Structure 1
Amino acid sequence: MASTSTRSARPPFNSSSPSSSSQANLRNQEDKLKGSTAARNPISVRLHKVLATNYDDPAIREALETLSDLYRNRDDVGKRASEEVGSSQTGGSIAVEKLTVGSGIAARARKNLRRDAEIKLTQSTQQFLKAFKEVDSKLDGLQEHIDAMQSRCDEAQGQLQSTNEECKSLLDRAGGLRSARHAVNDRQFAVDSFIIRFSLTENEINTLQSRDIQVDANFFRTMRKADRIIQDARVLMSGDEGPSKAGVEIISTTSQQLEQGYDKIARWCALEFRQFVRDAQLDVSPLMREAVKWLRNRPELLTDALSVLAQTRQATLLNTFMDALTRGGPGGIPRPIEIHAHDPLRYVGDMLAWVHQAIAGEREFLEALFDVKGEDRMVGSVRIFKESEEEEWIQDLMDKAFEKLRSPLRLRVRQTIRSQESSITTYKVANLLTFYNTTMQRTIGEKAGLSNTLNEISDEAYGVFFDTLEAQARNLARTILPDNQDVQPPATLLDHTQILREIISVYTGSLLGNESMDEKREGFRSVLDLTVDASISMCSSVADARKVQKPTWDKDTFLLNCLDHLLVVLRPHDFADYKVKALQDEIESRADLLASDHYQNIIHEAGLADCLAVCNDKTSNEPLSHIGAMQPRELASHLQAFAQWLSSPDVVRSPRLAHLNDQRLADRVHREALRSLAAAYEKVCVEVRKPENRYEAANTVLGGARPFGSLNALRQIMGVGEGSG
């Protein structure tokens, strides 16, 4: 009993393990006990083993929980004990008695643990055997059922084999029927596709054959389909076996339908072209553009339709032009062109501007109609006409559209030109015509009828202009200078050159800027030759007539002043360079004549004319000192007169040359005359110094007056260099 109470006082085995600190104390006590007790007995060993046991191991904890379930309550334990006692040896009553005692359950459980475990195992085994017995009985029934099913499966397998043999023939027959159906479907699809590709539907046929002239996008889709059918059908005609019957029939039927479509397009175009009767924005619809594109495949139909368009546009442009001349725009704005008939330049310019604008608009309309892309070019640049069928149609239609416009334009321009008396106005009109003619030709071409009309009236304007110039030249030739006229250019020449200046200004203003020098020179050559030559001829005839009337009148100075005036007018213009050179050559030749005449005048004024004449006319062997003005006394008198002349202002500037407008030319003429005078004085001095002329003290004779026989001194006095021209 003492041992039982001691064990029951310990913590139960399923409680939590002692803490680490308590275990450390136990180990220390154990070490002390081991050290103090020399002898070891079984109790101490067992005690030490129990104390050293670690209950943290999961396996130990699981075993203890199993044992706890085994002895969960005392009733269960007593029941098991009674069952055990009833089936085992005697003495069970004592064990039951002991187990029912509540305070001794744990002790008895420790004592009877093996037996209780065996009893538990035996009970479990009996339960397994009972369950297996039931499974075995079920397996026997299942085996019988499987055997029955196997017999049935064998019977069904035989039936299935016979059925498979019968179905195989049915499947083979069905496969053949399926293949035949596929072949029929393929043929049906091919036939349907052929019909769709090579024939028109009823609606499409009605679209082409309908008497309704309306044309829309659906109509052109049908036309494209019919044309494609014909093109594809031609492939059927190119086989190795020759043309097929189907191809011939398809082409024949579809061609008839397509021709009906072409006729419908032609009628629709003619109807639409008749609507273009106003000079508003001529918009070309995509349907119209495509219709013309289709008709280009039938030139005869397109020609008929375009004839309607040409007649419509011809009448429209004529009526619009006449309205612009007489009525003006809507509401009188812009004002009628003929209201400016008193101003010829504006009148002609307004008419040509209207025509030019109409040409540009008509060109854009026709380019849009034939779907021609306009070339990228700057305004006013030359249009390059490409050789194409579209360009031929456009030029032909434009030529016809402006056909009736040519007559009223020609009539009014001619009346304006012929009514002018001023050559400047006529020339301005002629240049305006030339400008618009060049500009319009870049749009309608040089061969157009309107271009020919503009060429005719331009030539006529220039003809009137030149007639006016010739009349002015004839009037210029009849010029008579008054008695008090000096050597300056006459008023008639000044008026004539003023007209020439204005004509040159008009000409330079009409240039486009891309002309070469030869083109500019040739463009004004006829005007320049006529006006300048008439001026020179007038000056020469007047100078000759004036010289006869007044011998003292200075003809050369008058001519040089007139030529210089013409040169001043022409020199700023590069295209007149050839005429400027001719005038300069004429001036040079006239200047040489004037220099020679001026020398003759000053040598007489200087008193050396008689002496030089004697020197030049000597033919005999008689010494010069015995001949006329070269005698010593006469010579001294002439040399004295020469010295007095050298002291006069005439040496620096001649009063006669002061009337020349070109002072540089006057200085050059005077210097040339002075050089000739110096040469004459030198010749006199040389002759005096010659021994054969028998002058006593020749140096004394020459040294009696300036320049004392020194040629260098003479040149210094006159201011001329030696040997310079």
Structure 2
Amino acid sequence: MDQMTGDLQGAFQKLYRWIQRELKHLSLENPQINAGIRRALRVLAERPTLFQNCLDFFAEARQNILLDSFYTALTGAAPTTVTPSYMDPTTKPIELYAHDPLRYIGDMLAWLHSTAVGEQEALEVLFISQEGEGQNSILGGIEEGLKSEPWLEDGDGEGKGAIRGGWDARKGLMMLVDKDLQTVCKPLKSRIEQVIASHEESTLVYKISNLINFYRLTFEKLLGQESFLLETMKTTEQAALRQFHSSLQEHVRTVQSELPQAPDDLTPPPFLYEALNELKQLMISCGSSLIPDSEREGGFYKILEEALDPYLDGCHNLSQDLEEVDKNIFVINCQLAAKTTLEQFSFTADRISKLDAEVEKQIVLLTEFQHNFFVHTSGLHPLLVALSDWDPKTTPLTQLLPFSPHTLSLVSQTLDEFLPSALMDATTGLKRLSSPKIIGEIMQEAASRFVDDFARVEEVVIDALVNEGDRQGEGRIEFARSVWPRTVDEVRVLLT
């Protein structure tokens, strides 16, 4: 019995060494993989320790081959481990495009993805052949082998390596693919980080981060969340985002240190237009990324805090040196320019709502200004002030100086001079506002409030003048209208 056991172990050792020799020279790039090695692997699987050692040996050999293949893809020079017959002579070396950062990084990541998929497919043929099922498969061999090597499993059913807890064929294969590509990760990471460090343009670096994010999510689906390759993708993506935020902050510092004066026409300053053009490119890149919709708005909101808010703050600082109305108009123009850029993308809805709220505050202030313009220019202001303190129980209205018939006649003349050109004069003060729609809203609201003021004055004035006409023995309405001829309906028509 001992002799048979020894002979069996010796046979497995010979098989193990033979498989090692075969794996050392095995080319997965060759679609014709020897069926004999698959059968040998199935037999060796009955000794999980030897099988795991073979996988480790195979992974090491593949690491060297794939690393050489990567350098070949970069430079076009073929090392000894890459068979020339499997090289595509029409493919240009990736480093020919090193001057184009996006293409350079994109080509490297595309090569990595293509290689990972090719490695997966070849290993499926080698280790998960459909020719054998059950006891005739590698999985069946490992399950049999674990019965003879129970120490490979710990108390919770987990062991080590690709045969942990038995052998999950799919998981084990993807672990092997990930391990095969580990040596490629270092030079890949180095080159990507070098490109990132050598470019300070925020838009370009953000596009690079989204490109890496695309492949990170792709590799996560392919290899799982625990892969070494995925960690490399995360590291490079974080490096790109750090550089991106650093570039944004540096540009903000430059702009804030050299703030100009607000333009005479109250249009947004050049630095805001420049920031909005860059922001649009960032939003285009974000919109085309694989970031889930549920995360896109929240994630990009943080970018807006660095790529938009400081420039709007700069515009607000410029507005402090302007007259009140010009200040309101300038702020609205800047916020509308930002809104026009943001509303092209659905994931900026929350930020647009906040801009709308800020614009509405300025509209309220401008409406108040226009209303005051109507009240003061028309001559109604003294009347409204007097009415605010008037007690009809103690003082007849016409005894108040602003409401004496003579004063009312003068106010009425001023009103007649004001009304024909009131809208045109008021609109002139808003002509530098970039939105005709907002100008119309402001004028409509201010005029409506003025009409309400006039109606209030007209009511008390006509009542008071009617009584005054009685005392003077004149026709009541005739006397009232001779002093105060304008009606609220006439004023409403002239201001619409």
TM above 0.5, one fold?
yes
Mapping of residues 320-335 of structure 1, within 5 Å: 320-328=69-77, 333-335=90-92
SS at match of 2:225: coil
Could you list the per-position Cα deviations for residues 434-488 of structure 1 after superposition, in whole angstroms to 9, with x for gaps in the alignment?
1111112222222111110110110111121122223333444456344752222
Q: Distance in 2 between matches of 1:340 and 1:672?
A: 60
| Corresponding position of 1:436 | 215
1:592 shift after superposition? 1.5
SS at match of 1:363: helix
Distance 1:476 1:629, change over 3 A: farther
1:331 shift after superposition? 9.1
Alignment partner of 1:590 out of 362, 377, 383: 362
Q: Percent identity?
A: 25
Q: Distance in 2 between matches of 1:466 and 1:629?
A: 64
Mapping of residues 164-175 of structure 1, within 5 Å: none
1:406 matched to 2:406: no
Could you list the per-position Cα deviations for residues 216-252 of structure 1 after superposition, in whole angstroms to 9, with x for gaps in the alignment?
xxxxxxxxxxxxxxxxxxxxxxxxxxxxxxxxx5xx5
Q: Distance in 2 between matches of 1:673 and 1:387?
A: 80
Retained in 1: the 8 A contact 2:16–2:50? yes
| Corresponding position of 1:614 | 386
Equivalent pairs counted in the alignment come to 448
| Corresponding position of 2:83 | none
Alignment partner of 2:44 out of 278, 295, 312: 295
Q: Distance in 1 between matches of 2:276 and 2:115?
A: 40
When structure 1 is superposed on structure 2, of 411-420 and 396-405 the one drifting more is 396-405
Retained in 2: the 8 A contact 1:413–1:457? yes
| Corresponding position of 1:348 | 105
Alignment partner of 2:481 out of 703, 708, 711: 703
Q: Distance in 2 between matches of 1:455 and 1:372?
A: 33
Where do 5+ consecutive residues of structure 2 fail to align?
A: 79-86, 131-164, 471-475
| Corresponding position of 1:449 | 228
Alignment partner of 1:415 out of 194, 198, 220: 194
1:314 matched to 2:59: no
Could you list the per-position Cα deviations for residues 233-290 of structure 1 after superposition, in whole angstroms to 9, with x for gaps in the alignment?
xxxxxxxxxxxxxxxx5xx5654443333222211110011114x6733643211111
Where do 5+ consecutive residues of structure 1 fail to align?
A: 1-248, 374-385, 720-725
Q: CA RMSD in A?
A: 2.9
1:496 shift after superposition? 0.9
Q: Distance in 2 between matches of 1:608 and 1:670?
A: 18
Retained in 2: the 8 A contact 1:611–1:684? yes
Which AA in structure 2 matches 1:540? H
| Corresponding position of 1:537 | 313
Mapping of residues 121-132 of structure 1, within 5 Å: none
1:407 shift after superposition? 1.6
Retained in 2: the 8 A contact 1:476–1:534? no
Retained in 2: the 8 A contact 1:561–1:660? yes
Which AA in structure 2 matches 1:496? A
| Corresponding position of 1:501 | 280
1:674 shift after superposition? 0.5
Alignment partner of 2:169 out of 390, 393, 399: 390
Q: Distance in 1 between matches of 2:344 and 2:255?
A: 24
Could you list the per-position Cα deviations for residues 149-186 of structure 1 after superposition, in whole angstroms to 9, with x for gaps in the alignment?
xxxxxxxxxxxxxxxxxxxxxxxxxxxxxxxxxxxxxx
SS at match of 1:424: helix
Retained in 1: the 8 A contact 2:368–2:446? yes
Distance 1:271 1:369, change over 3 A: same
Distance 1:293 1:628, change over 3 A: farther
1:486 matched to 2:262: no
Q: Distance in 2 between matches of 1:702 and 1:372?
A: 107
Alignment partner of 2:11 out of 236, 255, 261: 261
TM-score (norm. length: structure 2): 0.82
SS at match of 1:654: helix
Q: Distance in 2 between matches of 1:646 and 1:335?
A: 77
Retained in 1: the 8 A contact 2:28–2:122? no
1:332 shift after superposition? 6.8
Q: Distance in 2 between matches of 1:565 and 1:599?
A: 26
Mapping of residues 684-695 of structure 1, within 5 Å: 684-691=457-464, 695=468
| Corresponding position of 1:520 | 296
Retained in 1: the 8 A contact 2:398–2:405? yes
Could you list the per-position Cα deviations for residues 308-359 of structure 1 after superposition, in whole angstroms to 9, with x for gaps in the alignment?
2111111111122123223356697533322222211111111111111111
Retained in 1: the 8 A contact 2:466–2:479? no
| Corresponding position of 1:87 | none
TM-score (norm. length: structure 1): 0.57
Retained in 2: the 8 A contact 1:344–1:416? yes
Q: Distance in 2 between matches of 1:649 and 1:689?
A: 24
Distance 1:331 1:439, change over 3 A: closer
Retained in 1: the 8 A contact 2:466–2:480? no
Alignment partner of 2:123 out of 325, 347, 366: 366
Retained in 2: the 8 A contact 1:423–1:465? yes
| Corresponding position of 1:678 | 451
Mapping of residues 581-660 of structure 1, within 5 Å: 581-618=353-390, 621-648=394-421, 650=423, 654-660=427-433
Alignment partner of 1:668 out of 441, 448, 455: 441
Could you list the per-position Cα deviations for residues 658-688 of structure 1 after superposition, in whole angstroms to 9, with x for gaps in the alignment?
3222222211111110011112212222332
1:305 matched to 2:54: yes
SS at match of 1:366: helix
SS at match of 2:46: coil
Distance 1:552 1:281, change over 3 A: same
Q: Distance in 1 between matches of 2:201 and 2:372?
A: 47
| Corresponding position of 1:336 | 93
Distance 1:671 1:473, change over 3 A: same
Q: Distance in 2 between matches of 1:585 and 1:331?
A: 59
Could you list the per-position Cα deviations for residues 571-620 of structure 1 after superposition, in whole angstroms to 9, with x for gaps in the alignment?
23222111122222222222112111221122222222222222224479
Retained in 2: the 8 A contact 1:488–1:561? yes
Retained in 2: the 8 A contact 1:363–1:443? no
